[in-house]
Amino acid sequence: MQRTGWQPALFWAGMIALIGFRLLLTSDVSTQINYAPQDDSLYVTRAFHFLRGEGFGPYDPRILVKYPGLTF
């Protein structure tokens, strides 16, 4: 099928219109960003204790936190 000169222009105009419509709908929606360094520090301290051969580390309330991929 042979394309004429106006079909690609119509396609890109439609794409730009859809992108603009999406931006219009989501322009007032705020994104909630939760920065939780304590979650990352749990992974780092757990790895530190594993590398030192201390197993799960000291017995405290954080020892009972269930990490993804870790079953017990």
Please say if the pLDDT value at position 52 is more than 70.
yes
And the tokens for 13?
């105009």
Task: Provide the pLDDT for residue 42.
Answer: 80
Summary mean pLDDT of the chain: 80
Is 56 exposed, middle or buried, given 0-12, 13-18 or 19+ CB atoms closer than 10 A? middle
Q: Which two tokens stand for residue 7?
A: 């079909």
**Alpha carbon distance 47, 67 (integer Å):** 12
CA distance 21 to 53: 56
The whole-model pTM stands at 0.40
